[in-house]
Amino acid sequence: MARRLLTLLAALLLALSLGQPSAQAASFSNPVKAQKGADPWIVHHDGNYYLVTTSWTDVITLRKSPTLAGLATAPSVQVWQGDAASRCCNIWAPELHFLNGRWYLYYVAGQNVSDYNPTQRSHVLESTGSDPMGPYRYRGQLNSSWMLDPTVATIDGQLYLFGSTHNGTQNIVAARMSNPYTVSSSFSTISTPTHDWERQGGTVNEGPEILQRNGRTFLVYSASGCWTPDYKLGQLALTGPDPVSASSWTKKSTPVFQRSDGNGVYGPGHNGFFTSPDGRESWIVYHANDSASDGCDNGRTARAQKFTWNADGSPDFGTPVRLGASQTGPSGEPSTVSTAYTLTNRNSGKCLDVAGSSSADGANVQQYACNGGANQRWRLEDLGDDTHRLVNVATGKVLDTENCSSADGAGLRQWSWLDNTCQRFRFVATDGGHVRIVNRATGKVADVANCSTADGADVRQWTWLDNGCQQWRLNPA
């Protein structure tokens, strides 16, 4: 009996030392972002995923969710807006990196809307604290000429910047950095499109991303024209001592991830990597089209899937998963997914509420002690233009500015969806995880009348005063 107990105890200790399997994660299906899903990047930090993608406008927005599935319905919160004519427009390929206790957002932006391509440059923002949602400040431009898709990585203790430049062909370049916002060497070309599969519709190497495991470093990049169904991923392996020297990289002769006509996935590319919350699994996020005729635009959606590793230590990305196919979420996630939110006022701690749970058009929207009622739960539906409609779970009606008035004090109410700008709102990050709720038509914000803390206090629109009565926390509910 004693021997059996000792055997059981040894087995238990072994299981604990290896780590027990995580609880079953919630299932999900692609896309993880259907609106503005190009050039996706995901990081997992402090219990949440953060997703950022190309906006095509002058803003950068982040989505935040404790589950991968939840990203599909999470609100897009604006954390930055173009602040100068030289970087006003067409923000592309943002990436979020945590370095030296700060978050850095690397992105591409240009000078104008119509003839944007020649003016695109790479830039970097720095968080003022340790929150991925910011606030952020501008730290600088990273290059003097055209360069896309900046990313950074630390290799053997040295920080490097990688990007894509054009010199007859579109190439991958690298440079050393002295800190996250300062390039300290010239750029060197480390990869050019030499294989036929890198030259479909265009001679392109772009979107470099570093993947590291067990002391090995890989650079995974996008090849061929993004406007073709043959956009795909290639791979370099670091086999020499100097990451800014082309001779230190060995290119794989075949693609590592490409179209799957059988699964209806075309042009998969411009990826990122992340690990599951428990650190057990490797995941890739990428964009793709669901038709061979789709192009290089907002029709691309963000998708994610788990990948494995080959016996030689290189990644095996497999085949792109069919859109809508059920997948098990990353291990270590919560098993439940929220698709609705409560909006809690920073000053009063009370919730945005449809008075009396009325289903009538024109019913007042107020603040009230949070009680979990459906009339305090809202679906925050992304409309694809950096705005949302706020749909009340109890009534199915939307937050609306009364009579489309632009006046301070105009009431916020619920109304049937009319698809006008008075019913569209942007979420703009402030600090401490709060946002201001900005009406697209008026530019004014959701405000608790007279900063009241009372149940039933009216919620109206008002000019932004930067006080707690105009700030809200979005909580999954």
β-strand partners of 107 = 123
| Contact predicate 461/401, CB 8 Å | yes
Please state the φ and ψ torsions of residue 270, each to the nearest 5 degrees: 40, 75
Catalytic residue among 95, 126, 149, 206: 206
What is the Cα gyration radius of the chain? 24
- Residue 323's contacts (CB-CB under 8 Å, 6 or more residues apart) are 29, 30, 31, 263, 264, 265, 290, 301, 303
Task: Give the type of residue at 102.
Answer: R
| Predicted pLDDT at 115 | 59
| Predicted pLDDT at 18 | 39
| Predicted pLDDT at 1 | 42
| Low-confidence residues of the chain: pLDDT under 50 | 1-22
What's the predicted TM-score (pTM) here? 0.94
Give yes or no: 281 in active site.
no
**Predicted confidence (pLDDT) per residue in 220-249, tens digit:** 999 999 999 999 999 999 999 999 999 999
Cα separation of 195 and 469, whole Å? 59
Cα separation of 414 and 424, whole Å? 12
Fold for domain 341-476?
A: Trefoil (Acidic Fibroblast Growth Factor, subunit A) (2.80.10)
Which residue, among 175, 208, 214, has the nearest Cα to 192 in the 3D structure? Answer: 208
Which residue, among 162, 169, 303, 326, has the nearest Cα to 236 in the 3D structure? Answer: 162
The segment(s) of the chain belonging to CATH 2.115.10.20 are 25-328
β-strand partners of 174 = 162, 188
Please provide the DSSP assignment of 194-233 as one string: -SGGG-SSS-BEEEEEEEEETTEEEEEEEES-TTSTT-EE
**Choices 3.40.50.1970, 2.115.10.20, 2.170.150.20, 3.40.50.970: CATH for 25-328:** 2.115.10.20
| Predicted pLDDT at 10 | 41
Catalytic residue among 39, 290, 382, 447: 39
| Predicted pLDDT at 9 | 39
| Predicted pLDDT at 116 | 62
| Predicted pLDDT at 17 | 37
Task: Give the type of residue at 471.
Answer: Q
Residue 3's SS3 state is helix
Cα separation of 172 and 272, whole Å? 16
| Predicted pLDDT at 391 | 98
Give yes or no: 206 in active site.
yes
The segment(s) of the chain belonging to CATH 2.80.10.50 are 341-476
